[in-house]
Amino acid sequence: MSYKGGPYGNTSACSYESLSFPDTAKEYKEIAKTEGKTVSGLFREMFFFYKQEKLKKEFFAFQDYGVEKAKELNISEEEIERLIFAGR
């Protein structure tokens, strides 16, 4: 499968059939059919959910970092809010 005429010229695209596990490719196609989606549509949806989960993990990691820093500096929640709004 290839995509012609895009901004990057002729490029090859990976097909679900090129997965190294034939059973996985078959199951993927069946899931798409059951969900009433195209294989591409299912991939886009899966990628969207992947990005959302990655953002959640980054958010919670940042939040944990902030909590640890606040503990190290002995800053209260009220003081944090005051500092945030003072900077705006």
Residue 15: band (very low, low, confident or very high) from pLDDT cuts 50, 70, 90: low
Q: What is the pLDDT of residues 31-60, one digit of tens each?
A: 999 999 999 999 999 999 999 999 999 999
The 3-state secondary structure of the chain, one letter per residue: CEEEEECCEEEECCCHHHCCCHHHHHHHHHHHHHHCCCHHHHHHHHHHHHHHHHHHHHHHHHHHHHHHHHHHHCCCHHHHHHHHHHCC
What pLDDT does 21 receive? 77
Nearest to 11 by CA among 3, 21, 19: 3
Round the average pLDDT of the chain to a whole number and report it.
Answer: 83
